[in-house]
Amino acid sequence: MERNSFVFYKEWKDAIVSLPKDVRLEIYEAIIEYGISGKAPELKQMSSIAFSFIKADIDRNIQRYERIVERNRENGKSGGRPKTKPKETQRNPTKPKETLNDNDNDNDIKKESPNGDKKEADASSCSQTNNDYQKFQDWLTRKAPYCSNIKNFPSQITETEFMKLKEKYTGKQIAETIEQIENRKDLRKRYTNLYRTVLNWAKKEYGS
């Protein structure tokens, strides 16, 4: 089903601004086509890698919108928003309090340790299948802008490769390895395949 509009993020432009003009044009046309019709066009390798990250953002927005529409539809059938239950007294609660860490992105947020170990929380991106791969890509873009840029690493980490890494290493180990690569300005320019680089560095650090 075609849509009349979709959200275009500035970070998409920033991510591809340094690519060749013909590649940028192909990506822009793919964004418009997929955003409106939902059809993903055939793309060249470099364009396809960049578009895969953008496509994941578009898919998340569509899923979020569809959940809202469905919720509103159900509320309409029942005569509006469900009535809230009266507050129970503090002395006799029937249910234990739930955590307040849920957010719109449905991310699982771990509590930080007393030592402020944010890496473990950030690396929670590395935990369940397709949804976790999207979380991992979000983490990679935020925490490792050099590594996530396809101009620097034309071969990024695919979903299949991500699952292979998870079979060997924990989320924290993967995150720490990528951060090491990100921070080694003297070495990182030697590499073009991010998956192979992460795998080799992780083997040296943690074994195979």
Domains of the chain, by residue range, sit at 10-77, 118-206
Q: What is the pLDDT of residue 175?
A: 94
Q: What is the pLDDT of residue 124?
A: 47
CA distances from 134 to 44, 57, 117, 137, 141 (A): 22, 8, 22, 5, 11
pTM to 2 decimals? 0.43
Which of 103-107, 185-189, 198-202, 204-208 shows the lowest per-residue confidence on average (mean pLDDT)? Answer: 103-107
Q: What is the pLDDT of residue 72?
A: 80
Which of 29-33, 35-39, 137-141, 169-173 shows the lowest per-residue confidence on average (mean pLDDT)? Answer: 35-39
